[in-house]
Amino acid sequence: MPKPVLFTVDDDPEVLRAIERDLRGHYSDRYRVMRASSGGAALSTLRELKARNNPVALLLADQRMPQMNGVGFLSEAMEIHPQAKRALLTAYADTTAAIDAINEARIHYYLMKPWDPPEEKLFPAIDDLLTDWNSTFRPLYEGIRVLGTRWSNRSYELRDFLARNQVPYQWIDVELAQTDPEVRSLIASLGPEAETLPLVLFPDGTRLAEPPLPTVADKVGLRTHALTNFYDLAIVGGGPAGLAAAVYGASEGLRTVMIEREAPGGQAGLSSRIENYLGFPAGLSGADLAFRAVAQARRFGVEILSPQDVVGLRVDGPYRLIKLADGAEISCNALLLAMGVQWRTLDVPGIDRLQGAGVYYGGGTSEAISCRGETVYIIGGANSAGQAAMHFSKYADKVVMLVRGTSLASTMSHYLIEQIEKTPNIEVWGQTSVVEVQGETRLTGITVQCEPSGTRKELPASSLFIFIGAQPRTQWLGDLIERDERGFILSGPDLLRDGKRPASWTLDRDPGLLETNVPGIFVVGDVRHGSVKRVASGVGEGAVVVQFMHQYLAKVQ
């Protein structure tokens, strides 16, 4: 944390140099001493310190200054740094004004000029003020801060992006300015900049308003551009299957790049708790699993591009080439498709405008604290919905699961059903679906329909989390890669029709177990037709497929 600031203001250059000299000589080991020659210049600097989250411990101002006297300056400075101690530097003739300032302007102390010797007339008084300040001071957050509103889709995207990429940040809801003086003073210090939200404040003083995610990624050090244009192995998708393949591929000597459009971890990374993953008897969060896997992959030299999207694929002899959203193209000997799936959207009129403003797809772990004391509605009855319900039950007053079936038994793991049944503030409403949503700029209510009666009920609601199945995002593959009617990628035996190989197949052997209809292009994880939708199975496929790749590469090189 930067040193707390002692700020002194005086229009007399000689007095200003003298007070700065004495303060530096006595306090520079613990505090940073700054000065200004006018109240206006001082206020400008104080606003910048506030924006950078630099604490100010003491404000010491001379009373007799043109344009703005000491009392006026300290009164305005108090709005920017309300916790700072405020002292007035006065001449003998100004003692009445100083006493009035203490009584009326909440100034803590006044000091007489001249203050020689400072050991007797300056330092004891300031020591008392700083002791008092330190007794209540709490270290300020030093990292990235995000200003916005809870009901802004852009703010939600930004918070979710930072959280999923393991980038620490502090969320500041500007709507709290009415009740929180620190938020109010920060907004005041930013001035017109605070009108364009979301606004990201970086520790180095950089501020980005409504920034595109790639710009934020570059600023926080995430890599979005490849170091070269050729790799032994390219992996599209950074979920558990893709991460496992990256670790095993790189550890066995393959120069490996992994491209992830959102954040490493995939849907599993959004899970609040995974309790049936082998080797973690107490369970672990999806974010923790992703963090460990990414660290492991990087240790073996995997190059991770995120956020980055793949938009096209072509084959040129032994090379498989993928086109990135930024126009770059990467060539590789072996390509792994591990894109996973995305949540299916709820087909209710008007719901799109409320996404990120009360309606969320997936875990929404970054929203849990904001739901404190509220009723949270969750649509879905699989493990992901159950894990989310357990997580939100720690914050929300009540969690209501809306399930199409009569019970959870056919879609959810037994251990999770038992946990839900034992959690008093979770309710499961069977044979219930959402048919309408209310709200213009934010979700205000939902209409649920109960079967088989068809009865409808309107409920007030501010948070709706949706887990209603998954669909692959494979359109960018065009006609090159064969898929089933739902878009899942076919591989191995599923490609053989009446014992015949695909027309695009060029080798004198059948496609391997995890190999697509194009030799050298493999598929693993949830995007594969017939896969088991579990984290452990995805990791297993990612580990096994590397051996198939080695067999392929040994014959084509």
Share of the chain above pLDDT 90, in %: 63
255 burial via Cβ count (<10 Å: 0-12, 13-18, 19+): middle
| CATH code (residue 402) | 3.50.50.60
Residue 225 lies in a domain: no
Distance CA 217, CA 201 (A): 14
Residues 462 and 476 in one domain: no
Q: Tell me the pLDDT band of 548, cut-offs 50, 70 and 90.
A: very high
Residues 131 and 277 in one domain: no
Tell whether the model's pLDDT for residue 499 goes beyond 70.
Answer: yes
pLDDT per residue as tens digits for the range 202-260: 988 899 999 999 899 999 999 989 999 999 999 999 999 999 999 999 999 999 999 99
Residues 500 and 377 in one domain: no
Q: What is the pLDDT of residue 93?
A: 62
Residue 347 lies in a domain: no
* Final residue of a structural domain among 136, 158, 178: 136
Distance CA 164, CA 256 (A): 22
Q: What is the pLDDT of residue 557?
A: 64
Residue 178 lies in a domain: yes
Q: Which domain holds residue 103?
A: 5-136
Distance CA 338, CA 243 (A): 9
Residues 248 and 329 in one domain: yes
Sign of dihedral through CA atoms 305, 310, 313, 316? negative
Mean pLDDT (whole number) for 387-391? 91
Residues 275 and 200 in one domain: no
Which of 165-174 are b and which e, b meaning 16 or more Cβ less than 10 Å from the residue's Cβ? bbbebebbbb
* Final residue of a structural domain among 189, 220, 251: 220
Per the omega criterion (within 30 degrees of 0), is the bond before 264 cis? Answer: no
Distance CA 42, CA 55 (A): 15
Q: What is the pLDDT of residue 528?
A: 96
Distance CA 285, CA 192 (A): 39
pLDDT per residue as tens digits for the range 52-84: 889 999 999 998 888 898 888 998 998 899 899
Residues 451 and 514 in one domain: no
Residue 393 lies in a domain: yes
User: Of the given ranges (52-61, 261-270, 462-471), which has the lowest mean pLDDT?
Assistant: 261-270
Q: What is the pLDDT of residue 228?
A: 93
Nearest to residue 463, comparing CAs of 444, 490, 481? 444
Query: What kind and span of H or E run contains 209?
Result: strand 207-209
* Final residue of a structural domain among 136, 168, 194: 136
Asked if 58 contacts 7 with a C-beta cutoff of 8 angstroms, the reply is yes
Q: What is the pLDDT of residue 556?
A: 76
User: Of the given ranges (83-97, 132-146, 324-338, 399-413), which has the lowest mean pLDDT?
Assistant: 83-97
Query: What kind and span of H or E run contains 57?
Result: strand 56-62
Residue 543 lies in a domain: yes
Strands (E), 351-452: 359-361, 375-379, 398-402, 426-429, 432-438, 445-450
Residues 360 and 450 in one domain: yes
Between residues 110 and 396, the one the model is more confident about: 396
Q: How far is CA 211 from CA 142, 197, 201, in A?
A: 20, 9, 11
Residues 474 and 408 in one domain: no
Between residues 32 and 365, the one the model is more confident about: 32
Residues 450 and 493 in one domain: no
Q: What is the pLDDT of residue 454?
A: 87
Residue 114 lies in a domain: yes
Residues 235 and 327 in one domain: yes
pLDDT per residue as tens digits for the range 96-140: 776 777 766 678 888 888 888 999 889 999 999 999 999 888 877
Distance CA 139, CA 390 (A): 32
Q: What is the pLDDT of residue 94?
A: 67
pTM: 0.81
Residues 31 and 110 in one domain: yes
Q: What is the pLDDT of residue 178?
A: 85
∠ CA 291-206-369 to the nearest 5 degrees?
45
Residues 121 and 23 in one domain: yes
